[in-house]
Amino acid sequence: MDANHSKCLDGERPLGGAVLPMNTLSTSVLEHELSELRLILERQAGVLLDTPAEILSDVLRKYLLSKHQGSVQDMLSLLRSSDAECERLLEPLLDPQTGFFRYPQAFEALATLVLPDLQTRKLAENPHSLRVWSAGCSSGEEAYSIAMSVCDALNCNGGGWNVRIIGSDIRRPALEVAQRGLYPESGLQQVSRQRVQTYFVRVGQHLLVKPRVRNLVTFTPMNLAKPDYLGRFDCIFCMDVLPHFSMSQRVALTQRLHLYLEPGGYLFLGQNEKLPAVDVAFRPHKTGSYTLYQKPMAAAAGQGR
Ligand SMILES: C[S@@+](CC[C@H](N)C(=O)[O-])C[C@H]1O[C@@H](n2cnc3c(N)ncnc32)[C@H](O)[C@@H]1O
């Protein structure tokens, strides 16, 4: 052990060793290795982990075990060179919290302000197209809430609308849940009876999203620290993702989201989130205690793709 700048987190004994096999028992995680790990994950995935050292060490050791890697240093090199490995390690560490219509005021703003505005502006298009991105969609509840709101407002089956909602997340297991569209009844408390009847079908104690809604939504894995260009969007929902990012990554992502919005498009953040200080223009709209942000129409000419 390098006594100058590192110490074993739990003395000479690895944490949680009682349940791990011998080769892993001998693997102690040093403070400087954890700092290095936090740095790698911030660089690769944007997230600034405030996970306590003991939990992070535990996750790291389980990961070593699953990869049959003996040394923490080998694993850090692997993580440095592989986004996929970072994403796998991050799975148990990221905040998965979500829900249908999680921030009711945001969905109220979508229904009463944003969709009517887009409807008016797109009247001249044929067919009228609407593109929405749920960036950091977790297990899909947010994307399906958007789809239900859009169906309610635009009657998209018969209303001449071409609607595409994309849900993305870095955690693939969450996306598998999203893809299935099957949720326990207890998770639908924020969904009105009317919507449950219209948009879900009962399967035992669970409710399955009907094809009418599912067909509007496509799920895809994506790391928001290195987002792909999926085209321009009329609305982007990026709720409760930025607060988990480091400040520099927050700024970078917000600028990217601005670029990916259509002129006049809307950005939805979580209920109490503040937009980071960025050198791109967003016009705030306050509705009740919720603020959403619009990219000015005039930004059209100045912004690259
Ligand atoms: C607190 S949840 C919010 C889920 C949903 N937006 C909502 O508000 O209900 C944050 C989500 O962001 C995802 N996430 C965190 N870092 C990410 C990254 N670098 N790229 C993509 N998704 C990320 C997490 O996996 C998690 O599903």
Element (H, E) at 284: strand 283-287
**What pLDDT, on the 0 to 100 scale, is given for residue 153?**
93
The CA 142 to ligand 1 mean position distance, Å, reads: 11
User: In tens digits, what is the pLDDT along the chain, a chain of 305 residues?
Assistant: 333 333 334 332 333 333 334 344 446 788 899 999 999 999 999 999 989 999 999 898 888 888 876 688 888 999 999 999 999 999 999 999 999 999 999 999 999 999 999 999 988 887 789 999 999 999 999 999 999 999 999 876 556 889 999 999 999 999 999 999 999 999 999 999 999 999 999 999 999 999 999 999 999 999 999 999 999 999 999 999 999 999 999 999 999 999 999 999 999 999 999 999 999 999 999 999 999 999 999 754 444 44
My answer on whether 110 and 85 are in the same domain is: no
My answer on whether 170 and 262 are in the same domain is: yes
**What pLDDT, on the 0 to 100 scale, is given for residue 152?**
94
> Quick one: 117 exposed, middle or buried, by C-beta within 10 A (0-12, 13-18, 19+)?
middle
**What pLDDT, on the 0 to 100 scale, is given for residue 158?**
59
Helix (H, G, I), strand (E, B) or coil at 231: coil
Among 90, 125, 148, residue at a domain's last position: 90
For residue 242, what are its two tokens? 């930025």
Q: b/e map of 215-226 (b: 16 or more CB within 10 Å)? A: ebbebeebbbbe
Would 11 be classed as within a structural domain?
A: no
**What pLDDT, on the 0 to 100 scale, is given for residue 30?**
87
The CA 231 to ligand 1 mean position distance, Å, reads: 20
Place of tokens 């949680």: 16
Would 142 be classed as within a structural domain?
A: yes
Mutation probe of ligand 1 site: the residue of 94, 132, 236, 254 with most atoms within 8 A of C-beta: 94
Helix (H, G, I), strand (E, B) or coil at 220: strand
**What pLDDT, on the 0 to 100 scale, is given for residue 284?**
96
Domain that holds residue 45: 17-90
My answer on whether 51 and 119 are in the same domain is: no
My answer on whether 29 and 120 are in the same domain is: no
Q: Which atom of ligand 1 is nearest to the CA of 139?
A: 27
Does the C-beta of 254 come closer than 6 Å to ligand 1? no
CATH number at residue 291: 3.40.50.150
Query: Total domain count for the chain?
Result: 2
